[in-house]
Amino acid sequence: MTGLTAAAERRERILQEAVRQGLLDAERSPLAAFVDLDGVASTVASLHRAFPSSPGVLHAFAAKANCLVPVLAELRRLGMGCEVATAGELARARAAGFAPERIVFDSPAKTEAELRHALDLGVTVNVDNYQELARIDRALGDSVPVSRIGVRVNSQLGGGSIAAMSTATSTSKFGVPLADPGSRQRLLRAYHDHPWLTWVHTHAGSQGCPLDLMAGGVARAVEFAEEVNASLGRRQVVGIDIGGGLPVNFADDETAPTFDSYVRQLRAQAPALFSGRYGIVTEFGRSVLAKNGFTAACVEYTKSMGGRPIAVTHAGVQVATRTVFNPDAWPLRIEAHEPSGRAKRGGPVRQDIAGPACFAGDLLARDHALPLLEPGDLITVPDTGAYYFSTPFHYNSLPEPAVHGVRTDGDGGAVHFELLRPAQDPWDVPGQGAPRVPVRRRAHEPVRSAG
C-alpha cells in the first residue's frame, strides 16, 4: 500500500515518466506543467451528464481559466463551446476552431470595434450595460442580428468568502442591477424596445461562492426572463446563460462540489430553467481544468533561517500569482518527490516552499509540513490546471514553463506526452534579434575584448 490516492499515484507516475524523458530536468527544464487530457475528458463527460440534453445546452468553457489554444481545441473536440472575455481570447477561440455560434463574448469593457467584429462573426454577445447596448443598437441599425444577444443582470444577492471573486454584490462592476430603485423597470423597457434581446445572462461569482448563492442568482435571472415574456405576451427571451463559477476543492483530491450537486440546487431554486422553455448556456472554467493539471519544479537550494528550513524552487509567483499574493484565499497543496519522481518518504518537517522571484513574499507555502526537501528533489503542485501555469506572471522576466498534455494507455499503460506550449527561452529577448547565450569559459581563460 502506498498510502496515496489514485489521483496522487497518477501524478507520481506521470512525473516519473516526465523525468525519464527529460521533460523535467534540473539544468534544462527545472519547471514544467502538465494537463491530464484523460482527466479533462472525464470531467467534461460528467458535465454533459449533469445537465439535460433537451432543450439545447451549450457548455462554453471559460477561456480565461486556460487559454492555451491546444487545450481549447481539445475541449472543442469534446463537445464544448467557448466563453471569451477579451479580443485576445476571442482570437484564441477562433484559432482553436470554435464556430462563431458556439462562442460567447462577455466583457465589461468591449470596444466598438470588438462589438462590430463579434456581431459580424455571429458570436453570442452578453451586454454589460446600457452604453454598450446603445453601441450595439447603432452597429445593427435596421438589420437583424445573426448573434444571440442578451443582457447580463446582477441579482445583488451578496458575495462569498473571497470578495474579489464575488460578482453579485450590491456594488459589483458587472452587469445591470435588478434590485436598485427603478433599474428593473428600465431593463424591462430595454427588452420591450429591442426585440433582438432574446437571452438573459447572470454570474454570481466563483471560488468562495456557495452553491445556494449561485443558484439563487440564476433563479433571479429566470424570474426576470419570465417577467419579460409575460409583459410582452410572447416568448422573446428564449435562453438563460447561467455563467459558471463552480468552486473547486483545493484541500485534497476529492472533486467537490460536483456538477450533479449544483444541478440539484438549480432544480430546487430555479425549476423553470428546466421547463423546456429556455435554452441553457454554462460558462464553467476552473471546475473543468483545475484538478486536471499540476505544476512540477526542481528544488535548487535549501537553507535554514531562524530555525525554519526553506526550500528554494523554480515555481513561485510566475505560476501561482494568486497564491503568492493572497495565500489565505488561495492555498495550494505541495507534494514532495525524490529526483526520480517517486513520492518522498520521511517524517513531516515544517518548512517554507519558496519560489525564484526576487521578493520575500514569493512563497508557495509557509511553515508547511513535508518530508524534508533537499537540493535535487522535486515538488508537485496539484490543482493548478486552471489560472496558474496557463497565464503566467512575467515578474523578473521569468520565462514561461513548458506545458505538456498527458494521455495514458489505460491503468498501468504507457504515458504519452504532447507539447501544448513550449518553454520560453530566457535568453531570447523579443525585438533584440538572435538570443545572446552566455558561453562557458574555462576558469583560467581570460576575457577578450570585442575590439
Band the pLDDT of 451: cuts 50, 70, 90: very low
Q: What values do phi and psi take at 374, rounded to 5? A: -130, 160
User: pLDDT tens digits for 354-410?
Assistant: 999 999 999 999 999 999 999 999 999 999 999 999 999 999 999 999 999 999 997
Pairs from 304-311 (Cβ < 8 Å, separation ≥ 24)? 308/350, 308/351, 308/352, 308/367, 309/349, 309/350, 309/351, 309/352, 309/372, 309/373, 310/351, 310/352, 310/354, 311/351, 311/352, 311/353, 311/354, 311/373, 311/377, 311/379
Q: For residue 2, what pLDDT is reported?
A: 60
Strand partners, 241: 201, 281
User: pLDDT tens digits for 62-100?
Assistant: 999 999 999 999 999 999 999 999 999 999 999 999 999
Q: What values do phi and psi take at 198, rounded to 5? A: -120, 5
What does the block give as the cell for 49?
Answer: 451528464
Q: For residue 174, what pLDDT is reported?
A: 83
Q: For residue 439, what pLDDT is reported?
A: 45
Across residues 262-284, what is the average pLDDT?
96
Instruction: Report the share of the chain in percent with pLDDT over 90.
Output: 85
**Does pLDDT of 1 surpass 80?**
no
Q: For residue 154, what pLDDT is reported?
A: 87
User: pLDDT tens digits for 404-444?
Assistant: 999 999 777 899 999 999 999 999 988 876 555 554 444 44
**Does pLDDT of 170 surpass 50?**
yes
The count of residues in the chain is 451
Q: For residue 436, what pLDDT is reported?
A: 53
Q: Supply the mean pLDDT for the chain.
A: 93
Structure-model confidence comparison of residues 209 and 86, the more confident one: 86
